Structure 1
């Protein structure tokens, strides 16, 4: 399952030439080597541009600092585009926004299943994502999704691998400004996966809706797109608290279960420069 985690390695002496830091006490009072390593930004099935500076003791993450790499972009983030266009006065249909929402959640699910080692399921969800973006109607999409959702929900192995990883209560999510599926999930990585499944299923049913989008409901794949900060910023703010104290083997699953989109931050940076 975790064969892709070679960026940290299990030889705690040297990783990519990085020096070993001082020794520090672990939770049992033992003196263990503390290794400082970066995760990202160029990992398979990892949010583009995300860098985590972590301190490892054994297999446990003790300290986590979030950074992002990449330049400001004048282009709106692809997954938020329908809602941003609606806020600019364009007529956007409910179906267009639902289609983008469904595809975004399927994209996140593909990444989540890939990180958990379920490559076949990741590929299947990505194929359905492509059908969504290609314009398949609601009936076809629900027919494709039904068996996949049932299979994911019935997997005992998936539940065992992801339950208890990165718990985030709704109360704490609100405190951090989270407004999307991670708030609705009110739980751990497994709960967030279930929230995506549910949202993808319901948005697939609305892909043919021609009614205009209600601009009072500008909630994109990761949360409200009309707030003071991009919705993914709140997800990034949540990461250190979810990762510190977690075992390294589960870290990538926790990150994948939030799946922040750093394109949102790049576009917000451009908007700030334009209107500053």
Structure 2
């Protein structure tokens, strides 16, 4: 219909919202149309305007107002999309039922140790239980300089904490250390990074309440890595004892498990990143599934 005068246009603008709010009218109008799909899986021809019921793909019927008759076959496979099992249910610590998911984390994961897998049972996003698996190495890798290791460990932790630009800057400094670049040019870059990390309230909040395994607060460990790296860049290096917070204390798989159980998945990533790249472990029989 072509509107030829202002009155007709005004009336139409008033009537349109009223019609759109009429749910039954909209369903009835939709029922008079045919959905066209390339694979011919669309619905059968629509019901007539007198309200005659329409068959649906499950063997039930749908009336003209869109209400489904629930006499369909209920033996459908409800296991999940593409046959993938959905999360089960279990009681959480507060007695409420939570989704339970079994997830293996690592070893191919950014900023994650290459010889570590955590088989976690998750209640929502909380680690309810965990089994630690370490992958045996065919040979011990060549150890980089201590300075490069400290910078690399700090970069990995910052990457997991969401500080990707700063982590990338530290990775460049580490590369320059490995290639023997002039330390006089690296020292100001590392000092600026340390100041930025120390002053950040956002990072302080992100790491608050999270402890490194057997070493106290994770933020303190991060700052100790950077402080010690800067000291090693001094010319001549200052004689100082390696802080206890960054020393490579031997830990066990149970130590890591106790540290992550009850933590959220994001906190678990941070705790593992806080181990460092050359964390020594207690001798134990190592199995790999």
Quickly name the TM-score band, shorter chain normalised. Answer: 0.5 to 0.7
Give the count of matched residue pairs.
206
TM-score in terms of structure 2 length: 0.60
Kindly tell me: are residues 261 and 197 of structure 1, through their superposed partners in 2, closer, same or farther at Cα, counting changes over 3 Å?
same
Is structure 2 residue 206 aligned with structure 1 residue 189? no
Q: Which residue in the other structure is 1:107 paired with?
A: 152
Kindly tell me: are residues 55 and 120 of structure 1, through their superposed partners in 2, closer, same or farther at Cα, counting changes over 3 Å?
same
Gaps of 5+ in 1: 1-12, 80-99, 174-181, 212-216, 225-230, 270-276
| CA distance, structure 2, for counterparts of residue 17 and residue 239 of structure 1 | 34
Kindly tell me: are residues 105 and 218 of structure 1, through their superposed partners in 2, closer, same or farther at Cα, counting changes over 3 Å?
closer
Q: Deviations over 1:100-124 (max 9, x none)?
A: 1111011011111111121110111
Secondary structure, in 3 states, of the residue corresponding to 1:36?
Answer: strand
Q: Higher RCO, 1 or 2 (CA under 8 Å, sep at least 6)?
A: 1
Kindly tell me: are residues 115 and 25 of structure 1, through their superposed partners in 2, closer, same or farther at Cα, counting changes over 3 Å?
same
User: Are 2:224 and 2:246, in contact at CA under 8 Å, matched by a contact in 1?
Assistant: no
Show the 5 A alignment for 1:176-215.
182=215, 187-205=216-234
Gaps of 5+ in 2: 1-78, 285-289
Q: Which runs of 4+ in 1 moved over 6 A?
A: 13-18
User: Are 2:207 and 2:219, in contact at CA under 8 Å, matched by a contact in 1?
Assistant: yes
| CA distance, structure 2, for counterparts of residue 188 and residue 18 of structure 1 | 40
Secondary structure, in 3 states, of the residue corresponding to 2:128?
Answer: strand
Secondary structure, in 3 states, of the residue corresponding to 1:158?
Answer: helix
Q: Deviations over 1:203-254 (max 9, x none)?
A: 2226x66x9xxxxx899x9645xxxxxx5x5175532111110111222111
- 1:67 maps to which of 126, 129, 133: 133
- 2:143 maps to which of 44, 63, 78: 78
| CA distance, structure 2, for counterparts of residue 44 and residue 259 of structure 1 | 13
Q: Which residue in the other structure is 1:91 paired with?
A: none
| CA distance, structure 1, for counterparts of residue 102 and residue 184 of structure 2 | 50
Is structure 2 residue 276 aligned with structure 1 residue 259? yes
Q: CA deviation at 1:16?
A: 11
- 2:193 maps to which of 141, 148, 171: 148
Kindly tell me: are residues 107 and 37 of structure 1, through their superposed partners in 2, closer, same or farther at Cα, counting changes over 3 Å?
same
Secondary structure, in 3 states, of the residue corresponding to 1:234?
Answer: coil
| CA distance, structure 2, for counterparts of residue 261 and residue 15 of structure 1 | 41
Q: Which residue in the other structure is 1:242 paired with?
A: 259
Q: Deviations over 1:160-181 (max 9, x none)?
A: 111112355xxxx3xxxxxxxx
| CA distance, structure 2, for counterparts of residue 104 and residue 17 of structure 1 | 45
Kindly tell me: are residues 260 and 135 of structure 1, through their superposed partners in 2, closer, same or farther at Cα, counting changes over 3 Å?
closer
TM-score in terms of structure 1 length: 0.63
